[in-house]
Structure 1
């Protein structure tokens, strides 16, 4: 299967299937690009190939052609020409097609190289992102381990405080009982003295 021809305007590159404009410098353009780029006509009378800047001074240097000619056209186009001219036309036609295929291969090679460069760049960026992420994860792990150690230390201190508080509470309860006992003893002593004073007062009366 023949490789499809494409418009040689890099901003277009649409696949050519019907009519096109070919140049003697082996380039081909779609009809809209040919009209827009001045191949059909030029204000100063000098046409220039948009692909290679070659001057197209002669009328036949850029002509419209039918890419899918009819069978009648195929039969009549070379009829009457000598075999030498026919072979020369075929040779030039094959050279034109070979040049177009070579240019297409070069275009895809450049595209593949650009894609490879972009992939390498993205891969490098991804490696840096992964490296930074791993570094951040490592830092978070270290921080988490320190937090676990601090947690254990705080839990130990909390247990020590609970134990100390329990001991102080027990001591406070003992002191409270002693205080209540001492206070009760003091009240009883005061009541005894008061009762004795009352007895003395009654006797004297």
Structure 2
């Protein structure tokens, strides 16, 4: 197999010819398969490459491309030199034409390949430019998403700090609540009424005994009810019965009123003052 070989001129075959070939008077060559198929009818031969009619006997010939030494020594034996030279000239012309046609074919293929390559380069340059634009766009989106993510992380950290601060405040409030609760329970234990007094009070309420006035107004009303016998025994009643008794009630102060209603008022007031002094 060398660069001097010829190729099948059938456009769908293009096989390298190195054993046998069908050659035509129109300077075309075909492989054995395409030649057998195209030239099976000897009366109606037509070149598959140029559609030239081949009616004569030697218009289509099947040749051996690797003839034996005996054939080479005998095929031109006895012919005059000018005939041998003419035959050789025509054979070389046929081969030159085949080489030229192959060169034209390969040049055309190269041109088509270059055009396709140029089109592919333009297409892929456009694709690459588009991809670069998309990459830049995605890069900007990625940067924006990173910034947004960092903002979300900072916001989450800030919210976590707020939650921790609220948790600390909640713990402090819970501790204050527990302290106040213990203080209240301690105060209630210290100031609770003895069981014997509670029992006596329950028995009195059971027998509907009146311990005394329940409010300051009742106490004032009871004080205004002076017995008639005491009024009549006074010296002023004998002189002026209408002026014998004159009761002038005095309105008690707020402290006295609260102390009367709550016997533990003074102690509570002292504790409040002590706590305010400690805070100050």
Q: Which residue of 1 aligns with 2:193?
A: 195
Equivalent residues in 2 for 1:1-205 (5 A)?
3-37=4-38, 39-42=39-42, 45-195=43-193, 198=196
Deviation at 1:40, TM superposition (A): 4.4
Query: How many residue pairs were aligned?
Result: 202
Structure 2 distance, partners of 1:113, 1:121, is 12
- Tell me which moved more, 181-190 or 145-154: 181-190
1:96 is displaced (CA, Å) by 0.7
Normalising by structure 2, report the TM-score.
0.61
Secondary structure of the residue aligned to 2:137 is helix
Q: Mark the CA change 1:198 to 1:162 in structure 2 (over 3 Å): closer, same or farther.
A: farther
**Normalised by the size of structure 1, how large is the TM-score?**
0.79
From the superposition, tell whether residues 195 and 113 of structure 1 become closer, same or farther in structure 2 (CA, over 3 Å): same
Aligned-residue RMSD, C-alpha: 3.0
- Distance in 1 (alpha carbons) for counterparts of 2:133 and 2:12: 45
Structure 2 vs 1, CA of residues 123 and 193 (structure 1 numbering), >3 Å: closer, same or farther?
same
CA contact (8 A) 1:35 1:41 kept: no
Secondary structure of residue in 2 paired with 1:21 = strand
Cα distance between partner residues in 1 of 2:197 and 2:3: 143
Superposition deviation, residue 48 in structure 1: 0.8
* Structure 2: 5+ residue stretches without partners: 205-280
Q: Which has the larger radius of gyration?
A: 2
After TM superposition, the structure 1 stretch with the greater mean CA deviation from structure 2, 46-55 or 180-189, is 180-189
Against the structure 1 CA distance between its residues 57 and 172, is the aligned structure 2 distance closer, same or farther, given a 3 Å change threshold? same
Q: What displacement does 1:140 show?
A: 2.9
Report the secondary structure of 1:53's partner residue.
coil
The answer to whether the Cα contact below 8 Å between 1:18 and 1:68 also exists between their aligned partners in 2 is: yes
Matched residues in 1 for 2:152 and 2:3: separation? 80
Structure 1 pair 2–129 and aligned structure 2 pair: CA distance change class (3 A): closer
Structure scoring higher RCO (CA < 8 A, sep ≥ 6) equals 1
